[in-house]
């Protein structure tokens, strides 16, 4: 009986961790966008630095989101939460995320690897990539990604609420079981 309780908490942890992860990414990108837009127009290097950081966050978090939507998450939503009513929403979000990744990932990965992570030692190549960054286009792309994060956050909020109801049902069963045990002694 206690093992079931521990598993329910593990399930909740998966959902809470995922939801908080999405919130953190969204907040970081909003801070970057705000600083990029409000930075002095004379400081193009600063704006391009923020673009590079946004590329890094988007690349890393896109991979992480797909990882978090993997086996454990699928098992949880299918077996524990019976979330079939939300399946179409998850498919819609995954489709948008895949489309986003197909459209921007390679470019962002290049910016991330070459200029944010400084993996390439060819400074002229780095400067060429940095020079070609456009902050207005980048803001639009960041907003597009943040829209996906917002929808994923709403979806996860629904699942968190569902996990509360599953846990409440479990709690009722535990209380009923404890009362029965108490009455038998």
pLDDT at 5: 47
CA dihedral 9, 11, 16, 19 (to 10 degrees): 180
- Average pLDDT of span 173-184: 59
Closest CA to 15 of 68, 90, 91: 68
Contact call for residues 55 and 116 (beta carbons, < 8 A): yes
SS3 letters across the chain: CHHHHHHHHHHHHHHHHHHHHHHHHHHHHHHHHHHHHHCCCCCHHHHHHHHHHHHHHHHHHHHHHHHHCCHHHHHHHHHHCCCHHHHHHHHHHHHHHHHHHHHHHHHHHHHHHHHHCCCCCCHHHHHHHHHCCCHHHHHHHHHHHHHHHHHHHHHHHHHHHHHHHHHHHHHHHHHHHHHHHHHHC
Question: What would the mean pLDDT of 127-136 be, rounded to a whole number?
Answer: 91
Tens digit of pLDDT for each residue in 99-119? Answer: 999 999 999 999 999 988 878
Token representation of residue 11: 């399930």
Is the pTM here over 0.85, yes or no? no
Of 15, 5, 181, 134, nearest in space to 86 by CA: 15
CA distance 57 to 36: 15
- Over residues 14-60, the pLDDT tens digits come to 888 899 999 999 999 999 999 888 876 678 888 899 999 999 999 99
Lowest mean pLDDT among 73-77, 95-99, 115-119, 172-176: 172-176
- pLDDT confidence tier of residue 165, bands split at 50, 70 and 90: low
CA dist., res. 62 & res. 73, Å (int): 16
């Amino acid at each position: 009986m206690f093992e079931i309780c521990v598993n329910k908490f593990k399930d909740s942890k998966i959902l809470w961790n995922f939801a908080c992860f999405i919130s953190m990414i969204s907040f970081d990108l909003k801070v970057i966008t705000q600083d990029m837009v409000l930075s002095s127009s004379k400081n193009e290097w600063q704006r391009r630095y923020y673009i590079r950081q946004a590329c890094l966050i988007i690349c890393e978090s896109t991979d992480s989101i797909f990882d978090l939507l993997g086996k454990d998450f699928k098992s949880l939503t299918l077996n524990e939460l019976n979330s079939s009513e939300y399946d179409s929403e998850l498919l819609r979000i995954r489709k948008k995320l895949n489309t986003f990744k197909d459209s921007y990932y390679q470019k962002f990965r290049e910016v991330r690897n070459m200029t944010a992570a400084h993996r390439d030692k060819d400074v002229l190549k780095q400067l060429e990539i940095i020079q070609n960054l456009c902050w207005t286009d980048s803001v639009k792309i960041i907003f597009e990604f943040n829209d996906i994060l917002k929808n994923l956050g709403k979806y996860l909020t629904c699942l968190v609420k569902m996990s509360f109801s599953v846990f409440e049902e479990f709690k009722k069963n535990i209380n009923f079981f404890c009362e029965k045990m108490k009455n038998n002694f």
